């Protein structure tokens, strides 16, 4: 009975394809590629943070260190570089990021939803010692994790 149950579970995962990571031909060896291939030219988080209105609504690729991941399903991640911080949602829950991703470098292809610092953001950052980081909201269709 156990073997049969495992076989059914494997068929469901393969058939669904939502949880199974895919390897992209464009991703370097040793890179976990999830969702769509990252094909857009990389834009530093700092550039997006400097002029978020310019990038809002555009599909871009960016990269940074993964600082946290959704502990429930892996349906979002936090990405950071020296000058910016992005909250990255996984578009439509079409794939999930491994919970072991923090500390790794990731590239994301995503639509820029919002960005910049509000007064509340500035006050919150001052309170927790992270002032100077612009927060960007991204909706990702593809993620590559090294």
Tell me the pTM.
0.69
Strand positions, DSSP E, 36-104: 59-69, 76-80, 84-90
Say yes or no to pLDDT of 27 above 90.
Answer: no
Per-residue pLDDT of 58-109, as tens digits, reads 999 999 999 999 999 999 999 998 888 899 999 999 999 999 999 999 999 9
Question: Which pLDDT value is given to residue 3?
Answer: 39
38 DSSP assignment: -
Q: Rounded CA gap, 145 and 61, in Å?
A: 13
Q: Which domains does the chain have, with CATH numbers?
A: 22-145 (2.40.50.140)
60 - beta bridge partners?
Answer: 110
Residue positions counted in the chain: 146
24, HSE (Cβ side, Cα atoms, 13 Å): 18
pLDDT band for position 51 (cuts 50, 70, 90): confident
């Amino acid at each position: 009975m156990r073997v049969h149950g495992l076989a059914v579970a494997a068929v469901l995962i393969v058939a669904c394809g939502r949880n199974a990571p895919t390897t992209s031909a464009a991703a370097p060896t040793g890179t976990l590629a999830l969702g769509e291939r990252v094909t857009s030219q990389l834009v530093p988080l700092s550039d997006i943070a400097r002029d978020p209105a310019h990038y809002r609504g555009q599909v871009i690729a960016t990269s940074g260190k993964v600082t946290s991941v959704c502990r429930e399903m892996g349906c979002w991640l936090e990405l950071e570089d020296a000058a910016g911080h992005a909250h990255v949602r996984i578009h439509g829950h079409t794939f999930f990021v491994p919970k072991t991703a923090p500390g790794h470098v990731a590239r994301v292809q995503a639509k820029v939803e919002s960005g910049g610092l509000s007064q509340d953001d500035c006050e919150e950052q001052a309170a927790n010692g992270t002032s100077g980081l612009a927060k960007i909201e991204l909706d990702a269709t593809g993620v590559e994790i090294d």
